[in-house]
Amino acid sequence: MAKTSPGEFVNQVKTEWSKIAWPTRRETLMTAVLVVIMTSLLGIFFFGIDTFFGAIVQWLLSLASGR
């Protein structure tokens, strides 16, 4: 493997840096909003599932204890 000099490395980094396609401010904002919406929906969904199964377990435990 060939060794790269520090100057050549910096030039390669600059070249690669210029190839990056940075998202616009609008794209970043829309992605952030979508992430917040989806995590909120998933949180609500899993809260409902957890509540549902918790109620089933409580019902089964009450049957087992004879109350």
| Domain ranges for the chain | 6-65
Residue 1 confidence (pLDDT): 66
SS3 call for 26: helix
Q: What is the pTM of this model?
A: 0.65
Q: Contact, 12 vs 4, CB < 8 A?
A: yes
Tokens encoding 57:
């377990």
pLDDT, tens digit, for every residue of 5-63? Answer: 999 999 999 999 999 999 999 999 999 999 999 999 999 999 999 999 999 999 999 99
Instruction: Give the C-alpha separation, 61 to 49, whole Å.
Output: 18
**Entry field: residues in the chain:** 67
Category of 24 on φ-ψ map: left (φ > 0), alpha (ψ -120 to 50) or beta: beta
